[in-house]
Amino acid sequence: MITITNVTPTDLPPLQDMICALCAHHGDTCVRGVADIHAQFIDGPLMGLIARENDMPVGFATLVTHWRPMNTGDSIDILHLFVVEGWCGQGIGRRLIAAAQSHARATGAIRLTIGTSPNNTSAAQAYRAMGWDEITATAGPRFQIRL
């Protein structure tokens, strides 16, 4: 039976393993340790949801709240959504999204957003099938500089 709970300090080692798997999936290397993850998910601005089959972690979602002075409520973004290989296609991602929606409603947020890689057409199709509206406006060019 799949359960979804908020991330707690005891979840940090398996959460780190899943974060590393997410990074590897994207061709990256995770450089954040448990202390960094603790600072972000327990002490800091991120909220985490973890999915378990019995006691085994099988997925997670990272939520970040955005305050905008022009809105009457917050916007919550599902920053990361990950399901462990071998568990995909079993509704775990949908359950994590439903838990994120419940959290957003409970906190009075007015919007929940999620993004995906342009190459991940199956995720985009799944979001459309779940009734999500596609955001077609672009934010304009984005830039970064390494410091």
Pairing of strands 56-66, 75-83: antiparallel
Q: Compute the distance between CA of residue 87 and CA of residue 33 in angstroms, rounded to an integer.
A: 25
Contact 36, 16 (CB under 8 A): no
What pLDDT band is residue 41 in, cutting at 50, 70 and 90? very high
Environment class of 35 (CB within 10 Å of its CB; exposed 0-12, middle 13-18, buried 19+)? exposed
In a domain, 134, yes or no: no
Contact 66, 74 (CB under 8 A): yes
Kindly state the DSSP code that residue 132 receives in the 8-state scheme.
Answer: P
In a domain, 103, yes or no: yes
Domain, as residue range, for 17: 2-129
Total domains present in the chain: 1
**pLDDT the model gives residue 143:** 59
The pLDDT mean for the chain works out to 90
Domain at 90, CATH number: 3.40.630.30
**pLDDT the model gives residue 94:** 94
Residue 46 in this model has a pLDDT that exceeds 90: yes
Q: Compute the distance between CA of residue 132 and CA of residue 42 in angstroms, rounded to an integer.
A: 29
Closest to 93 measured CA to CA, from 120, 118, 74: 120
